[in-house]
């Protein structure tokens, strides 16, 4: 295998308000916890069941971090693209611990607000090019906004094929 992929996509709700802090370098770091749930009906009892998974997300991207800090709160529904990273740390008793997190790096990752004000939703932030003017649009469309390649025109599809 010549390459590999480390990509995580989550659609879920924030379990608490974002936690914003600064590194010694002055860079912003935002931590959020996202809950994803699956529902099913138990075949034997007919009872409705639900399983919730909690995901730690760390945002090192200043542009996305500012948006999360400003617009997200407990319960906000978000779409997140990032990478899995495991880090080792030592707790107060001296025991080594491991934590696996979804990380949005400075120029990688994406976040889409799915329940934005006004009911429209679909504000997308992320990717590689950050505007220095403090703007909040970062060039990549959200999966919600993507349209199929064939636009509706009502005509025969073969009319546009040049061969």
As a whole number, the mean pLDDT across the chain is: 80
| Residue 149 domain flag | no
| Residue 156 domain flag | no
Question: What does the DSSP 8-state code read for residue 115?
Answer: S
User: For a pLDDT cut of 90, what percent of the chain falls above it?
Assistant: 64
Strands 28-41 and 19-22: antiparallel
| Residue 16 domain flag | yes
pLDDT, one tens digit per residue, over 74-106 is 999 999 999 999 999 999 999 999 999 999 998
| Residue 154 domain flag | no
Domain of 23 in residue numbering reads as 8-144
Q: Which of 55-64, 67-76, 153-162 has the lowest mean pLDDT?
A: 153-162
Q: What band does 54 get if pLDDT is binned at 50, 70 and 90?
A: very high
| Residue 101 domain flag | yes
CATH number for 89: 2.40.50.140
DSSP SS3 for 78: strand
Question: How many domains does the chain contain in total?
Answer: 1
Q: Is the pTM of this model over 0.85?
A: no
């Amino acid at each position: 295998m010549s390459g590999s992929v480390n990509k995580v996509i989550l659609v879920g709700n924030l379990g608490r308000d974002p936690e914003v802090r600064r590194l010694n370098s002055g860079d912003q770091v935002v931590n959020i916890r996202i809950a994803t749930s699956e529902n099913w009906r138990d075949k034997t009892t007919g009872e409705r069941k639900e399983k919730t998974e909690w995901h730690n997300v760390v945002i090192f991207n200043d542009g996305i971090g500012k948006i999360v800090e400003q617009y997200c709160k407990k319960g906000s529904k978000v779409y997140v693209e990032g990478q899995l990273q495991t880090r080792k740390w030592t707790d107060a008793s001296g025991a080594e611990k491991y934590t696996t997190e979804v990380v949005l790096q400075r120029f990688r990752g994406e976040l889409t607000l799915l329940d934005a004000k006004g009911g429209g939703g679909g504000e997308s932030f992320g990717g590689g090019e950050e505007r220095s003017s403090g703007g909040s649009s970062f060039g990549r469309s959200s999966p919600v906004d993507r349209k199929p390649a064939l636009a509706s025109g009502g005509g025969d599809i073969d009319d546009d094929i040049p061969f």
